Amino acid sequence: MNELWRRNIIRTLFVLFLQLILLKRVNLTLGDFNYVHLTIYAVIIALAPLKMPRALLIGLSFILGLTVDLFYDSLGVHAGAATFVAFIRHYVLILLMPAEGYKQAVLSPYWYGFSRFIMYMSLLLVIHLSVLYSLEAFSFVYFKEIILRTISSFMASLFLIMIGMLIFNPKY
C-alpha cells in the first residue's frame, strides 16, 4: 500500500471519528433556530485521489454514508447524499479544472491553491447538504427549512473544514 492510500485511510478514520463521536454531540441551537449541523465527512470524498476509479469512489462513498447513517439513525439519508456527491464530483472537477490540468494525484490546497480548493469544497458541500436535507425532509413543502439548514450548516461546516485544512495542510 503506497503512501497516498495510507494517508487517505488515516484521514478517513480521523474525520469519521470527529463526525460520529464529537460533532454528532455538538448542539448549536440558538433559541428556536435549530438549523446548524456540522457535517464535515464530505471532505473524505472531496480529498479522494483523482485517479481513483469512479465506480470505486461511488461504492466507498455509499459505505461511508451508511456508516454515518448507523450513528445518526437516519435510514439511508447520508448514504444517498454521499453517493450523489461521489457521482457529481467528476463533473465538479471538470468544471474547475485548471488550464494546465490536474498534475498531482489529489486536489488539495497545497497543490492547487487555497481559493480553488475553497471553491471546489464549497460546491461539493452545498450539493451534499442540499441533497441531504432534501432527502431528510422528503418533501418540498419544507423548502424554507431545507434552504435554512443548507445555508447555515454550509457556513459552519465549511468554516470547520477550512480551519482543519489550514492546521493540517495536507499534501495528499
pLDDT, tens digit, for every residue of 54-105? 999 999 999 999 999 999 988 899 999 999 999 999 999 888 877 677 777 6
Task: Decide: helix, strand or coil at residue 33.
Answer: strand
pLDDT, tens digit, for every residue of 117-168? 899 999 999 999 999 999 998 887 888 989 999 999 999 999 999 998 888 7
Instruction: State if pTM tops 0.85.
Output: yes
Pick from 88, 34, 36, 79: nearest CA to 60: 79
